[in-house]
Amino acid sequence: MEIKRIQEMDLEGKRVLLRVDFNVAVDLGKVKESFKIAAAKETLDYLLNKNCKVAMISHFGRPAAVKTLAGEPGGTPNPEFSLEQIVFDAKEILATNLTFVSDCVGEKVQIAMENMLGGALLLENVRFYAGDETNDAEFAKLLAENFDVFVNDAFSVCHRDQASVTGVAKILPSCAGFRLLEEIHEMTIIKDHPIAPAVAIIGGAKIETKLPVIKFFEEKYDHILVGGKIANEAIDQKIEFSDKVVLPIDFVDERLDIGPKTVEKFKEIIAGAKTIAWNGPTGKFEDEKYAKSSNEILEAVIASGAFVLVGGGETLEILEKNHAMNDITFVSTGGGAMLDFLVGNTMPGIEVLKK
């Protein structure tokens, strides 16, 4: 896939808008997951070493939850969804001085860029403006107006056609950052060049979302292990699969976790794998009582010695809880983006960066 790479750009001294994904869990003002923030460090450091003036832009919270939009008539930003609350921790994680700007467009951004004395800017939540989600052309112009270059380093939003992902990229010279390039490379291996035996572990909810993924893996992989709520739905709906798909044969309580016989069967298959792709927990993991299967599967995945790619917010939480982030070959920042990439759906955020 030929896309414009950050190394190919003339960036010295340029004003750069860097799209990141800092949509992280926060509890009492403390960032609970550092992974997605840390993922931006290589690209940010590279830009700062090129003497760029860098402003990072991200969403925070789901669109339906960010109800009071600054861009609406009479609207005011909801502080519950302000990115200001992550600035202190982000400084520590990125080891860079960050200045928060209480808007993501307009005069406040212009003044902050002009007055920069090192470090980088973190702009306010782009979802405070409805124009981001709708990919409003005028809003994209506002995002772009204070910058020379756009760098996308957020694979997790590349399945979205939004102003801060594709709109700006159509206005400014644009490229992929190091993290985005790495995600594309690793995801392509899992998608097109898995070493056999290849095993996919698919869990979580929403069978309608995961069914195309299971069907994709049926064509390319040797075994597909299905757990979580989607396994219940597949059984209830009597969905037919090939012999490659392994559904649970026993459960815990009201099917809130897969049972010990299923776990043993899954572990036996995982032990022989050379490639493993995992997206979604196999039980209601947020309740410790039903996290047993997900935890045991994680142990088996690590012990397998296989090339392992893990993605999806809930699956990352399992890794974080077990302090296992460094035990996995590659951890993707994408959930929905990972699934869309694997099944071959169009990725607008990547398409727009093609040469």
**This prediction's pTM:** 0.92
Average pLDDT score over residue span 272-300: 95
Q: Helix 336-343 to helix 207-220 angle, to the nearest 10 degrees?
A: 40
Domain boundaries, the chain: 6-179, 194-341
User: Could you tell me the pLDDT band of residue 73, with boundaries at 50, 70 and 90?
Assistant: very low
What is the overall mean pLDDT for the chain? 93
**Fold of the domain spanning 6-179:** Rossmann fold (3.40.50)
Average pLDDT score over residue span 31-60: 96
Query: 275: phi > 0 → left, psi -120 to 50 → alpha, else beta; which?
Result: beta
Contacts of residue 246, Cβ cutoff 8 Å, sequence gap at least 6? 223, 224, 225, 226, 265, 266, 269
Average pLDDT score over residue span 97-124: 96
Calpha distance 316→313 (Å, rounded): 5
> What is the residue-wise DSSP string for 232-290?
HHHHHTT----TTEE--S-EETTTTEE-HHHHHHHHHHHHT-SEEEEES-SB-TTSGGG
Q: Span 194-341: which CATH code? A: 3.40.50.1260
Closest residue by Cα to residue 208 from 233, 232, 225, 226: 233
Which is it for the CA torsion 10, 16, 19, 21, positive or negative? positive
Most confident of 25-34, 75-84, 141-150: 141-150
54 and 44 Cβ atoms separated by less than 8 Å: yes
User: Could you tell me the pLDDT band of residue 76, with boundaries at 50, 70 and 90?
Assistant: low
pLDDT in tens, 122-174: 999 999 898 999 999 999 999 999 999 999 999 999 999 999 999 999 999 99
Cite the beta strand spans of the chain per DSSP E: 15-19, 26-27, 30-31, 53-57, 98-101, 120-123, 149-152, 174-176, 198-202, 223-226, 245-246, 251-252, 257-258, 275-279, 307-311, 330-331
pLDDT in tens, 225-282: 999 999 999 999 999 999 999 999 999 998 999 999 999 999 999 999 999 999 999 9
> What is the residue-wise DSSP string for 172-197?
S-EEE-HHHHHHHHHHHHHHH-PPSS
Cis ω on the peptide bond leading into residue 197 (within 30° of 0)? yes
